[in-house]
């Protein structure tokens, strides 16, 4: 008898695979399963759900695609509740952002919510080695003779380090997802590496507040910086759209 026998009810209606998937996910959220816990073999799960192997296989395939379970074949095989993989989730979320065509404004608004709170937390939790790393990343932003994309990557690395110093895994994962969109967006909107570094003074202010462990000041400095960048970037985006429209009409 599998451990899951006492958790799930049988399924006898249409869309059996969907119902099985829902039951497994509901049980996971209810705390009835933990990462690494064995769910059952295919044969055991057919007994648990009182159905054939076809919907079980379909359900397990969906659960595996969602990252809920891992499947091992052969002797001693079966389905096991997966370990968490935030990076995998971040990549999947970034793809979904692209597929639903989130706007630049939506990206900036999400960024403000994530990074302002992250700066506040980072000021409370940052270690001395992390402060040194953050300063080194800030210094790299001002290095000469770098291309536009490299400049943007360095700025994002500075922001990423702040979010990671917050220790907030949800914020870190969301920031990683946003980075895919931010890198391409910023690279397209920045007119030159010099322009991408024009906000160095405000980045310096953010660093100083975090290094001083001033959480309120870090929050405020980050908010001012991001609101300013949001305004300038959206203005630049409008300029590019207007230029494209003029070119199309000429």
In total, the chain counts a number of residues equal to 250
pLDDT at residue 4 greater than cutoff 90: no
* Segments of 3-158 assigned E as strands: 38-40, 69-72, 78-81
Q: Based on the fold, state whether residues 75 and 116 are members of the same structural domain.
A: no
Q: Based on the fold, state whether residues 70 and 103 are members of the same structural domain.
A: no
How wide is the angle at C-alpha 230 spanned by C-alphas 179 and 197, nearest 5°?
A: 75
Q: How many domains does the chain have?
A: 2
Q: Based on the fold, state whether residues 63 and 109 are members of the same structural domain.
A: no
Enter the pTM of the model.
Answer: 0.79
| Best mean pLDDT range from 66-80, 131-145, 204-218 | 204-218
Bridge partners of 70, per DSSP, are 80
248 confidence band (pLDDT: 50, 70, 90)? confident
Q: Based on the fold, state whether residues 153 and 235 are members of the same structural domain.
A: yes
- Domain at 140, CATH number: 1.20.120.530
Which of 46, 81, 116 represents a domain boundary (last residue)?
81
Q: Based on the fold, state whether residues 55 and 112 are members of the same structural domain.
A: no
Q: Based on the fold, state whether residues 38 and 115 are members of the same structural domain.
A: no
239 confidence band (pLDDT: 50, 70, 90)? confident
CA 126 to each of CA 120, 123, 133, 211, 218: distance values in angstroms, whole numbers, following the listed order: 10, 6, 11, 8, 12
Q: Based on the fold, state whether residues 93 and 55 are members of the same structural domain.
A: no
What pLDDT is attached to residue 191? 56
What pLDDT is attached to residue 185? 83
What pLDDT is attached to residue 13? 41
Q: Based on the fold, state whether residues 147 and 232 are members of the same structural domain.
A: yes
pLDDT at residue 197 greater than cutoff 70: no
**Mean pLDDT score, 227-233:** 90
Q: Based on the fold, state whether residues 136 and 222 are members of the same structural domain.
A: yes
Provide the domain limits for residue 144: 87-249
pLDDT at residue 193 greater than cutoff 80: no
Q: Based on the fold, state whether residues 240 and 187 are members of the same structural domain.
A: yes
- Domain at 12, CATH number: 1.10.10.10
Which of 51, 81, 111 represents a domain boundary (last residue)?
81
pLDDT at residue 250 greater than cutoff 80: no
Q: Based on the fold, state whether residues 67 and 108 are members of the same structural domain.
A: no
Q: Based on the fold, state whether residues 119 and 46 are members of the same structural domain.
A: no
State the DSSP code for 127: -
143 confidence band (pLDDT: 50, 70, 90)? confident
The rounded percent of the chain whose pLDDT value lies above 90 is 60
Which of 28, 48, 81 represents a domain boundary (last residue)?
81
């Amino acid at each position: 008898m599998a451990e899951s026998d006492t958790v799930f009810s049988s399924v006898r209606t249409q869309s059996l695979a969907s119902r099985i998937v829902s039951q497994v996910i509901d049980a996971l959220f209810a705390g009835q399963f933990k990462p690494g816990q064995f769910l059952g073999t295919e044969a055991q799960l057919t007994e648990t759900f009182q159905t054939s192997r076809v919907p079980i296989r379909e359900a397990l395939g969906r659960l595996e695609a969602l990252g809920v379970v891992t499947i091992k074949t052969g002797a001693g095989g079966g389905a096991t509740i997966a370990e968490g993989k935030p990076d995998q989730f971040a990549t999947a979320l970034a793809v979904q952002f692209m597929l639903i065509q989130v706007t630049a404004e939506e990206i900036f608004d999400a960024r403000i919510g994530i990074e302002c709170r992250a700066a506040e937390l980072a000021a409370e939790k940052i270690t001395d080695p992390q402060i040194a790393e953050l300063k080194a990343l800030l210094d790299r932003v001002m290095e000469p003779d770098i291309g536009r994309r490299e400049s943007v990557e360095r700025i994002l690395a500075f922001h990423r380090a702040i979010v990671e110093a917050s220790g907030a895994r949800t914020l870190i994962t969301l920031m990683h997802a946003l980075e895919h969109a931010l890198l391409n967006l910023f690279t397209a909107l920045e007119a030159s590496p010099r322009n991408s570094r024009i906000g160095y003074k405000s980045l310096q202010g953010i660093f100083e507040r975090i290094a001083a462990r001033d959480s309120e000041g870090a929050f405020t400095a980050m908010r001012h910086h991001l609101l300013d960048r949001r305004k300038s970037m959206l203005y630049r985006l409008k300029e590019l759209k207007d230029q494209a429209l003029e070119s199309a009409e000429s």
